[in-house]
Chain A
Amino acid sequence: MNDAILALDTVTKTFGHGASTVHAARAISFSLHAGRALALVGESGSGKTTCARMAMREYQPTTGQILHKGRPFEGAKADEIARYRRSVQMIFQDPFASLNPAHTIAHHLRRPLKLHRPNIRGSQIDATVRELLQRVKLDPDLVAPKYPHELSGGQRQRVNIARALAAQPEVIVADEPTSMLDVSVRLGVLNLLNDMKKEMNLGLLYITHDIATARYVAEDIAVMYSGQIVEWGPTGEVIDNPIHPYTRLLLSAVPDPDVRFDDPRTRLRPEDVDDIRKAAAAPQEKVVEASPGHFARSL
């Protein structure tokens, strides 16, 4: 078991104060290891994006700490920040908004090289840009001189991945990387992320609302609801043997072509759904271990 490259330790994030306090994240703890992916699954408002933003240092935790390679990250010194920036890279959800329409693809890939790999100079820069594009299965001659609006959504997302890889990071935070892509290109991009994770021994935080894709990409999974991680553990275990009522609810609602809506056995009763939601939203302190590594909060 390798040491965690990035870890959140009992992190809480609240916004606002008094009557309008929003508990976006409550007592969140998870860790990212080299060559492994953690899927953070939840609906909108569950707090998963807040966790991503904290991992990227866009938000500061209200309480708790972020550990980078075992050491608490203070963010006081410039070189500490620079090292963190190089080590932790992000891939955004919207392939259209995450590239600057005024610059070519080559420019987008040169910047991280100039900022984080100063030892690469001159003609080597363009050679590295070519290599990065090849790695994400794009043709450098075709793609490098183009502007973002000339590429498809899937191609843009691959460019985003290339840009993240350019800095030679240790962790990649992927915030719903395929939810805005056409269905038929999603798996290609997820495959690419998976390959990169293995080839480059990266830690991957994969944030999604689509629990079916989690099995595809991640060894571990954490299910979030209303700011808390309600169940976590190895992906296969959690999906095949869910314990927490919310996880079960989530899994039962995933479209399954084998089960028609008419089937009375699978009908969701609105009262039950509301009860589960209410209970899962309340802070739950107790944790039970269902099997080695598989934990859930107890209602």
Chain B
Amino acid sequence: MSEPLLSVRNLTIDYIGEETDFRAVDDVSFDIAPGEVFGLAGESGCGKSTIAFAISRLHKPPALIRKGSRILLAGRDVLDLDPKALADFRWREVAMVFQSAMNSLNPVLRIEDQFYDVLRIHKGMTRAQARERAAEMLRLVDIPPDRMRNYPHQFSGGMRQRIVIAICMALDPKLVVMDEPTTALDVVVQREILQRINELRKEFGFSVLFITHDLGLMVQFCDRIGIMLAGKLVEQNDAAAIYKTPQHDYTKKLWASFPSLHGGLLS
């Protein structure tokens, strides 16, 4: 591809124990083009969430990103950023949506204050400016802006996740990392939210790193998919190819685990 937006090269992450280490991510390399949706699929413990955290440098000891690993966003190595540059980088270049939205929103702050928090620090906006931007973002995710003064617990799970997405997009990031954003939601809400993200992506041009274990959903939503097993990236291809012609045994095994709605038993 022409200049990728995100370039992960030889990423290796260990969890350092008292005697032994656990290799969570093993020499993983992949690129994400501007405006592309890249999916990372795998079961629990495969390392996909570890990669997501590493991109925003959210890890804490005993996690250790081994030397030789590089994460390049628009040419700059994220791993080399000093604390000030890192603060700028977060939210503006990369935004992250975590699995349980319930935990991402501060339960004692009103929604408009949560927007103000982010917009004040990163863009120096005043309250009035933040309110305007918040209204704009909430409308984009189909939440009535007049509910800005509500608290998180007054919204349903699906709506909270939408609010988190709105806050993520408030600073026009180039890359949005989503770690199992809809796993805890029911299937209709999941469809609505992802549909919307797809439309927003086309409008604003950001890339998405989408992490989940639901392969069928990935093929619907993503342009390219990487399959992870025990820290390694075992297969990487266009979504259609992953669906129609899976190469790796594990990919085939994953496909076999999803019963088809209309067929009988999948072989």
Query: Known interface pairs A240-B262, A254-B261, A257-B220. Does A184 touch B198 (Cβ–Cβ under 8 Å)?
Result: no
Contact A257 B243, beta carbon cutoff 8 Å: yes
> Would you call A17 an interface residue if the criterion is a C-beta within 8 Å of the partner chain's C-beta atoms?
no
List the B residue with the shortest CB-CB distance to A188: B257
Query: Known interface pairs A182-B44, A268-B192, A273-B192. Does A259 touch B258 (Cβ–Cβ under 8 Å)?
Result: no
List the B residue with the shortest CB-CB distance to A42: B186
Contact A212 B260, beta carbon cutoff 8 Å: yes
For A192-232 the 0/1 string (1 means CB < 8 A from B) is 00000000000000000111110110000000000000000
For B207-227 the 0/1 string (1 means CB < 8 A from A) is 000000111110111000000
Cβ–Cβ < 8 Å partners of B262 in chain A: 239-240
For A234-263 the 0/1 string (1 means CB < 8 A from B) is 000001100000000111111111011110
Cβ–Cβ < 8 Å partners of A210 in chain B: 187
Cβ–Cβ < 8 Å partners of A273 in chain B: 188, 192
List the B residue with the shortest CB-CB distance to A182: B43
A211 to B43, CA, bound (A): 21
Interface residues on B, range: 20 to 34
> Would you call A102 an interface residue if the criterion is a C-beta within 8 Å of the partner chain's C-beta atoms?
no
A209 to B188, CA, bound (A): 11
Cβ–Cβ < 8 Å partners of A267 in chain B: 195
List the B residue with the shortest CB-CB distance to A179: B183
Contact A215 B257, beta carbon cutoff 8 Å: no
Known A239-B261, A255-B187, A268-B195; further 15 A-B contacts with Cβ < 8 A: A43-B189, A183-B254, A184-B43, A186-B257, A187-B256, A209-B186, A212-B259, A239-B262, A250-B187, A250-B188, A255-B214, A257-B216, A257-B243, A260-B220, A273-B188
**18 residue pairs A–B, Cβ–Cβ below 8 Å:** A43-B186, A43-B189, A183-B214, A183-B257, A184-B254, A209-B186, A216-B265, A250-B188, A253-B191, A255-B217, A255-B219, A257-B220, A261-B198, A267-B195, A268-B191, A268-B192, A270-B142, A273-B192
Chain A residues in the interface with B (C-beta under 8 A): 43-44, 182-184, 186-187, 209-213, 215-216, 239-240, 249-257, 259-262, 267-268, 270, 273
Chain B residues in the interface with A (C-beta under 8 A): 43-44, 142, 186-192, 194-195, 198, 213-217, 219-221, 243, 253-254, 256-262, 264-265
